[in-house]
Structure 1
Amino acid sequence: MDIVLGLQWGDEGKGKFIDLISEGYHMTARFNGGANAGHSIERNGKRITLKSLPSGIFMKGVQNVIGTGTVLDPVSLRKEILNLKQFDETIEPENSLMISKKAHLVLPTHRLLDCFMEDNPDYTTIGTTRNGIAQAYSNKILRQNLRVGDIDAPDFRNKVEQILERDYRLLAGGDMVLPSLEEISSEFFEAIDFLKKFTRTETELVLNTALSEGKKILAEGSEAVMLDIDHGTYPYVTSSSTTAAGACVGLGVSPKKVGEIFGIAKAYCTRVGNGMFPTEIFDSVGEEIRQKGNEFGSNTGRPRRIGWLDLPALRYAIMITGTTQVILTKADVLSGMESVAVCTHYELEDGNLARTSGTLPENARPVLKQMKGWEGDITAIQGSSNLPEELKAFLSFLNDELGVPITYLSTGPGRDEILKLNSK
């Protein structure tokens, strides 16, 4: 089993890379997160964002799995699949998608509770997508939630209604304007009926059987390492494990069966929501990168915060995940800049330098290395030997600093605008 992960704060271009390589796999599997993250893919001049569906859904003959470690919002999934069919009517997810019976459900009131906590001054404001992901995971840990496998139980509807009524009593104590309970219940159960069209099974058995038969599986991570619930910049993190180890837990596959670990990183950094961001750019240069790179949340539309490439954080992410290959994206966005900066170290308050760090101390000063920028449109370049010399120097510097080979370079948003730099 190979794994694809984001090495920064998400939005690195994982969907594009998975779409590119997934035809070489028999199965693609999502192992964490829910509809709080979006993987954007461009095909035939059109763009679509996948939220819960694995990015291999476009490949004929590839089986797609929503794994046990995810949380599934039936309402969101129904909308996503209907949108997918409008985008490409040849795709038949009913025949190529299976869902873990053990994946937990996101209930309608989880979204409402998420909004309540984000807007209430008694709670820490995280800057969530307000999709109820943390509430679903927290109820999973509290053993108060329902799973996909429960939808066939005769008392499922009663259990859902009991939870919704309980949550409404809690929410009624605040000043929040609530939709009618009948309205959200009706939409939810309609989505549950839609969900019953898809195979629901013990996906860990399916995946391990496939591996024993010599089939290739690609595990797809949501979010990114610096948002990991344990190893990210807590409390401004997601609610699941985003690392390679999280892939094993979320899919029920032994670490012994992991092969390549592809880590995706941008040539600069972005972040959505609150939290530490030492290399953030506040001037017009940051806005230029945001506009040129279309740095707005694929799920929420929120403008992303922009920063220079952060090597201490990137080294940390590579260390935590055991990344074997780095895929660098968005280098084309920096084309035309007179110079680009890279943070090589943090200078701490005591005067020491931190070369690798996952805590991103707020008072640390990023030590920036200025490098000469590159000119020209690199999207049409066919071979790595034809890249601008300044970009070659940038890549060589990163290879030396990270100690892991950069094997692919994305040169534009299109599916085919990516170069294979060297083979392992």
Structure 2
Amino acid sequence: MPAIVLVGAQWGDEGKGKATDLLGKDVDYVVKFNGGNNAGHTVVIGGEKYALHLLPSGILTPGVTPMIGNGVVVDLEVLFHELEALAARGVDVAKLRISANAHLIPSYNRILDKVTERFLGKRRLGTTGRGIGPTYADKMNRVGLRVQDLFDESILRQKVEAALEVKNHLLVKIYNRRAIEAEEVVQELLQYAERVRPMVADCGLELHQALEDGKTVLFEAGQATMLDVDHGTYPFVTSSSATAAGACTGSGIGPTQIDRVVAVFKAYTTRVGEGPFPTELHDEFGERLRANGFEFGTTTGRPRRCGWADTVVGRYSTRINGVTDYVVTKLDVLTGFETIPVCVAYDVQGERFEEMPSHQSDMHHAVPIYEDLPGWSEDITGCRTFDDLPQNAQRYLLRMEELLGARISVIGVGPGRDEVITRYSLLGDDE
């Protein structure tokens, strides 16, 4: 049975939660392998919206074991707030597993994240201020706190004291803030120790055994390809590995165990925060996409920047992730546009780029080269097969498939759980 990686192919907010939910009935585990509560998934089930930030989307599907891998950074306050909110709505959250090696987001990193962004001014990165970046920096600097540290108070205290030796100098001398007491942080974290203990596991071993036993595992990326710390539009990226390769390092399984890579590509493009965005629209069309697609952040509520589909980004995602299947979401949002431009290449100071520029400055100066495709006016939310779609919607998807370089297997035609068209199985069992 397969191990499937699900990634975002753009700058996030593509609808990965819906794609995970669609696969839910066919998988045994859903693993979040990177990121933290700095991004969210919205899943609509039976007309009800569920906004998830830290938890894997699979937690909404009965019978699935949801797992938070070692590559995730965990804010314990957010974790239990989300669990309590879901339990209050009748969702069974008892099967959640959390890697003992996942790093914790202490309160001092949330403070540092916010004051650093303010200090940067015009050079700010547009972070969510939730302590994600500073926590990943601590991980690489080997001064981070892990979930397993909660169960050894002496080790926890030593690590907090060591981290604050440097951070307090920054807070007091650079940012003019008060110093943070180590004991205050220790007690804040210890209050969650016994609550989280039953959830903690050796996730890599458990996943290996599950795959050996013929179970199906879905690895769910937070953020997206263009926000990957190595392969995204650096420095306007997240702090973790959001591409398919991150599934291995962020969960503890080997690369030869991955069978399929499913990428989610919105029928147009959005991003939040700062950074280059070649197809961004600053006109009525951009406003229309934002309004029709309700493009506001699940986690922050920030309005998203909107633009036409960018297949230069798409081809890059296909290559970087080794995509086998695409899920195209929000096709219904394009209904009513007489003409739908699709970016097929960039013009960078007179030079044509059909592939992603390798230099940051070229990406900043990229001007989209569009191919105009005819739009459609028919309501497509009731379509359940490819042939049900208007001819121009079919042409749009077939051209996108050519430009992306991988098959489009699933098409989202509305926000509901059942508002999808399945052309091919994402499990690959139709090949």
The TM-score bracket by the shorter chain reads over 0.9
Query: Matches of 1:216 and 1:402 in 2, distance apart?
Result: 27
Shift of 1:39: 1.0
Matched with 2:312 is 312
Offset of residue 256 of structure 1: 0.9
Matches within 5 A, 1:64-83: 64-83=66-85
Aligned counterparts of 2:306 and 2:134: Cα–Cα separation in 1? 29
- In 1, the alpha carbon distance for the partners of 2:121 and 2:366 equals 29
Decide whether the 8 Å contact of 1:25 with 1:62 is kept in 2: yes
TM-aligned CA deviation for residue 158 of structure 1: 2.3
Q: Which amino acid aligns with 1:273?
A: G
Residue type at the aligned position of 2:102: A
Checking the alignment, whether the CA contact within 8 Å between 1:312 and 1:357 is kept in structure 2 is yes
What corresponds to 2:117 in structure 1? 118
Separation in 2, partners of 1:232, 1:366? 18
Report the Cα distance in structure 1 between the residues aligned to 2:266 and 2:324, rounded to whole angstroms: 17
Of residues 416, 419, 423, the one that matches 1:421 is 423
Q: 2:149, 2:156 within 8 Å by CA — same for their partners in 1?
A: no
Matched position secondary structure for 1:214: coil
- Whether 1:101 and 2:108 are equivalent positions in the alignment is no
Counterpart of 2:149, as a letter, is: D
Query: Counterparts of 1:19 and 1:176 in 2: how far apart (Å)?
Result: 46
Secondary structure of 1:309 counterpart: coil
Q: Deviations over 1:98-142 (max 9, x none)?
A: 111111111111111100110003894100011111111100011
Q: Distance in 1 between matches of 2:36 and 2:155?
A: 21
Gaps of 5+ in 1: none
Correspondence for 1:301: 301
| 8 Å Cα contact 2:34/2:71 also seen in 1 | yes
Partner-residue secondary structure (3-state), 1:415: coil
Equivalent residue for 2:46, pick from 44, 47, 58: 44
Q: Distance in 2 between matches of 1:185 and 1:292?
A: 46
Tell me the residue number matched to 1:397: 399
- Which residue does 1:224 correspond to in 2? 224
For the aligned residue pairs, the C-alpha RMSD in angstroms reads 2.0
TM-superposed deviation, 1:189: 3.6
Equivalent position of 2:171 in the other structure: 171
- Decide which moves more: 47-56 or 273-282: 47-56
- In structure 1, distance between residues paired with 2:319 and 2:257: 19
C-alpha displacement at 1:159, in angstroms? Answer: 3.3
The 3-state SS of whatever aligns with 2:173 is coil
Distance 2:163 2:193 in 1: 15
Q: Distance in 1 between matches of 2:79 and 2:178?
A: 22
Distance 1:180 1:148 in 2: 21
Which residue of structure 1 aligns with residue 146 of structure 2?
147
Q: Offset of 1:170 from its aligned partner?
A: 2.9
With 220-229 and 370-379 compared, the bigger mean Cα shift is at 370-379
Letter aligned with residue 302 of structure 2 = R
How far apart, in 2, do the equivalents of 1:289 and 1:301 lie?
16
Structure 2: tracts of 5 or more residues without a match: 426-430
Q: Percent identity?
A: 38
Q: What corresponds to 1:213 in structure 2?
A: 213
* Inter-partner Cα distance in structure 2 for 1:46 and 1:177: 42
Q: Kindly provide the amino acid, as one letter, of the partner of residue 151 in structure 1.
A: L
Name the count of aligned residue pairs.
419
CA distance in structure 2 between the aligned counterparts of 1:38 and 1:391, rounded to whole angstroms: 29
| Alpha-carbon contact 1:221-1:242 (below 8 Å) kept | yes
1:190 is aligned to 2:186: no
Distance 1:203 1:145 in 2: 19
Question: One-letter code of the match for 1:149?
Answer: Q
Instruction: Find the counterpart in structure 2 of residue 287 from structure 1.
Output: 287
Native 8 Å contact 2:11 2:223 kept in 1: yes
Q: Distance in 2 between matches of 1:24 and 1:116?
A: 44
Aligned mates of 2:11, 2:212 — CA distance in 1: 34
Q: Deviations over 1:61-115 (max 9, x none)?
A: 21111111111111111111111122x32x2323x11111111111111111100
- For 2:185 and 2:244, locate their aligned partners in 1 and report how far apart those are by CA, in whole Å: 36
SS, match of residue 250 in structure 2: helix
Distance in structure 1 (CA, Å) of the matches to 2:9 and 2:175: 39
Whether the 8 Å CA contact 2:40–2:298 is kept in 1: the answer is yes
CA distance in 2, matches of 1:156, 1:13: 40
Q: Which residue of 1 aligns with 2:22?
A: 20
Change (3 A) 1:122 1:47: closer
Rounded to whole Å, the distance in 2 between the matches of 1:358 and 1:292 is: 31
Which amino acid in 2 is paired with 1:138? Answer: A
Q: How big is the shift at 1:194?
A: 2.9
Pick aligned residue for 1:374 from 370, 373, 376: 376
Q: In 1, distance between residues paired with 2:160 and 2:258?
A: 41
- Residue by residue over 1:267-286, the C-alpha shift from the partner in whole angstroms, topping out at 9 and shown as x without a partner, is 11000000010110000110
Deviation track 1:253-278 (CA, whole Å, cap 9, x = no partner) reads: 11111111100000110000000101
Instruction: Name the amino acid aligned to 1:243.
Output: T
Shift of the 361–178 alpha-carbon distance from structure 1 to 2, 3 Å rule, reads same
- Normalising by structure 2, report the TM-score: 0.92
SS of the equivalent of 1:361 reads helix
How far, CA to CA, are the matches of 1:355 and 1:289 in structure 2?
Answer: 25
What secondary structure sits across from 1:121 in the alignment? helix
Secondary structure in structure 2 of the residue aligned to 1:395? helix
Tell me how far apart the structure 2 counterparts of residues 178 and 206 of structure 1 sit (CA, whole Å).
43
Summarize the Cα distance change of 1:118–1:192 in structure 2 as closer, same or farther, 3 Å threshold.
Answer: farther
Asked if 1:11 corresponds to 2:13, the answer is yes
The question of whether the paired residues in 1 share the 8 Å contact of 2:386 and 2:421 is answered with yes
- Is 1:276 the counterpart of 2:307? The answer is no
Q: Which of the residues 375, 390, 415 maps onto 1:388? A: 390
Contact preservation (8 Å) 2:25, 2:61: yes
Query: Which stretch of structure 1 is more off in the superposition, 253-262 or 296-305?
Result: 253-262
- What CA deviation, in whole Å up to 9, does each residue of 1:385-419 have, x standing for no partner? 11011101101111122221101100011111111
Looking at structure 2, the residues matched to 375 and 387 of structure 1 have their Cα atoms a distance apart, in angstroms, of 11
Write out per-residue CA displacement over residues 288-321 of structure 1, whole angstroms, 9 at most, x where no aligned residue: 1101101011000000000111111110011000
- TM normalised by structure 1 equals 0.94
Once the two structures are TM-superposed, the CA of residue 377 in structure 1 deviates from its matched residue by 1.7
Q: Which residue of 2 aligns with 1:355?
A: 354
Contact 1:29–1:220, Cα closer than 8 Å, also in 2: yes
C-alpha contact (below 8 Å) 1:109/1:168 kept by paired residues? no
